[in-house]
Structures are given as structure tokens and as C-alpha cells.
Chain A
């Protein structure tokens, strides 16, 4: 874990029913921050989706996940977290 060499990757948009997921790392401890319209009533379920998605991708290194939400459903949130994480670990050649 190289804490002195942070990386950032992002996926998603601020259109209605979408969200922008920003992943920064490595961190000492995993952090999830959610802001936006639905966060007051859906924080727990959103955190669950984020953690499950990262686990499903075999993420081991702790990261900071920031979600700026504009009404994303679980399907969309999961897809954006996956895209951001894959960009973060450089899986995509772009």
C-alpha cells in the first residue's frame, strides 16, 4: 500500500437518476461519503450496494468512495462504482 502515491478515478454523470462516483486511494481505512437528493433516506442501502460491488470486484486495498447522487437506483449506483473502480485499478485501457 503506497499511501504517498494517491490515485483518483471517476464514473457517472449528474443527470437525473444518475450519480458521480469518485474513488480515491489508497487510504488507511475505507470511507464512503454520500451527498445528494436521496441520501437522507437511502444511505444504508446505498452503502450496502457500494460495499457489495467492491467486494464482488475483489477490491482489497481500502479506498475512499464519494457519491454525488442525483437519484440513482441500485442498478445504476452499482454500475458506476464498478466503472470507477475498474478505472481506478487501470483495468480499462483508454
Chain B
């Protein structure tokens, strides 16, 4: 689950060591925008130590590296990939070639440091019009790509506009990226909601992207996490329906039946998968898995 992925500034020990306590689904340790150019060296050491010896609870741990047009990105990958992380969040991905470059660099580090080949995923931030336009190519550029995400501020600037309260400038981009993500079979994760004290605004935006089909949002403040989880929590009725679907499917599987029906309606594989996902979001175990 990637309903919430919390950004942690890479040079801030307090957040690095405590971020997981707020129980986001994932963490994004940031070596890019949150760290000034003169502190990249120091932050990289701190992040390395935190990754090696820190605790992160049940969170999926990822690191946002610096962009491939900076002198930092190879050092970033060398340090963080060797620690064995779930994935790298790559900023400013404009085309498939960028993904292939990062993939190659990661593969070399995995090889050298004994991290299983292919285990480090790539999350692609699409922060330009070109990147958004190439979304499908990017998402399919490497088997490591696990999610694509629209950028926020940078993307708005590239579109020659700015971020508005209702997010109209990102509306079409969000729709395009979800289609590309699903076409490529990867996750679509939404950008951050910048106004940390506007709980109602966040609830509205999270509700909108959830309805579009997004798997979750990036988060910049711990207080945003429970709000998004609440938006993504299935209703009692959805849970009940999902439970019955999963039960019917497993009962049918036990009896060796291929086709499943419930209340006179045929249930196929995608419906079952969806139901299982609903139970997972509700924090319930699927009988099939258990």
C-alpha cells in the first residue's frame, strides 16, 4: 500500500529517526530539494547511517536522489542503494533514457554491494510537460519502475502557471498520468498538498485523486497522514461486499470451480483482486493469504 509516502528532510535527524512513528505507508528520505548544495555531503552520511542502523517500522523506505543533471546523483545511488532500500525516487524524469541511465547505475551498485539484482525500484517524478507527455514510455522503460508521480511546483512553472487552490492546472495531468500508469501496470501516486494547515482542502484533494484511481499521495507533514488514510479507508458496506467476494472466491477455489458467482452475478479475477485490496486498506487479513 502506498496511500501516504512521507517526505523526510535528509539532513534532519529528528524527522529521519522519528518519521516512521506517524505510520505512513512509506517514507521518502529527501536528498534533493530539502538539502542545500553545501550540505549534500553531510546529509548523505547521515542518511547512510540512518538507513543502516535506524528503525523504520513497517514503512516502505525510499530515497529521493538528486536529478541526473547534477553532480550528486551517482554518489546518492552509490550510498543509498548499497544500504538495501525499497526504491529510489528520481526527480525530473523527462524521458525513458533518464530511467535507463538510473537503472544502469543502480544495477552496478546492486552488483557491487551484494544487494539482490532488481530489488531497488524506481519512482519517477514527472516534473515537466515533456515528462508528462512521455509518461507511458517512462513507466515502461525499466522493470524497476514501480510508480509514476506528477510534480507540483516545477511542473506548474514549466506549464507557465502556478499552483492554485483548486489545482485546476494539474487536473488534466493527473488524469493523463493515471491512464499511463495503469497502461504500464505501475502505481500512480499524487503530488504533495502544500498547505499543511488546510485539513479540509487536503481531504477534498485526496478524495478527488482517490476517485481518479490514484494509489496514494506524497505527504510533507505527519498531520496529513491520518486524513489521507481516512479518505482511503473503505466504507463498512464496501468492506462487507469485499469480504463476501473474497470468501465466495476462496470457497469456489477449494471446490475446484473456475467460475464464481455471488448474488447471481459472475465474479472475475479483477473484481476479486479489487476486493482483496479493499480488505487490505481496511487493515483486515484476506482469508486467502492467511
Asked if A and B form a direct contact in the complex, defined as CB atoms under 8 angstroms apart, the reply is yes
**Chain A contact residues, CB within 8 Å of chain B:** 11-13, 15-18, 72-73, 75-76, 78-80, 82-83, 86-87, 92, 94
Once the chains bind, are A17 and B17 in contact (CB under 8 Å)?
yes
CB distance from A78 to the nearest CB of B (A): 6
Once the chains bind, are A18 and B14 in contact (CB under 8 Å)?
yes
Secondary structure at chain A's binding surface: helix, strand, loop or mixed?
mixed
A17 in complex: contacting residue of B13, B41, B42, B45, CB < 8 Å: B13
Cα of A87 to Cα of B54 in the assembled complex, Å? 24
CB distance from A46 to the nearest CB of B (A): 15
**Chain B contact residues, CB within 8 Å of chain A:** 11-14, 17, 38, 41-42, 45-46, 48-50, 53-54
Once the chains bind, are B42 and A72 in contact (CB under 8 Å)?
no
What residues of B have a CB within 8 angstroms of the CB of A11 in the complex? 42
A-B contact pairs, 27 of them (CB 8 A): A11-B42, A12-B42, A15-B12, A16-B14, A17-B14, A18-B12, A18-B13, A18-B14, A73-B13, A73-B17, A75-B17, A75-B50, A75-B54, A76-B13, A76-B46, A78-B49, A79-B46, A79-B48, A82-B45, A83-B41, A83-B45, A86-B41, A87-B41, A87-B42, A92-B41, A94-B38, A94-B41
Q: Which of B11, B42, B45 has the most CB of A within 10 A?
A: B42
CB distance from A48 to the nearest CB of B (A): 15
What residues of A have a CB within 8 angstroms of the CB of B11 in the complex? 13
What residues of B have a CB within 8 angstroms of the CB of A92 in the complex? 41
What residues of B have a CB within 8 angstroms of the CB of A16 in the complex? 14
Cα of A91 to Cα of B41 in the assembled complex, Å? 10
Nearest chain B residue, comparing its CB with the CB of A87: B41
CB distance from A71 to the nearest CB of B (A): 9
Cα of A92 to Cα of B54 in the assembled complex, Å? 25
CB distance from B27 to the nearest CB of A (A): 16
A-B contact count, CB below 8 Å?
47
Once the chains bind, are A75 and B49 in contact (CB under 8 Å)?
yes
Cα of A83 to Cα of B46 in the assembled complex, Å? 8
Q: Which 7 A-B pairs have the closest CB atoms?
A: A83-B42, A79-B46, A76-B13, A17-B14, A79-B49, A92-B41, A17-B13
What residues of A have a CB within 8 angstroms of the CB of B41 in the complex? 83, 86-87, 92, 94
What residues of B have a CB within 8 angstroms of the CB of A80 in the complex? 42, 46
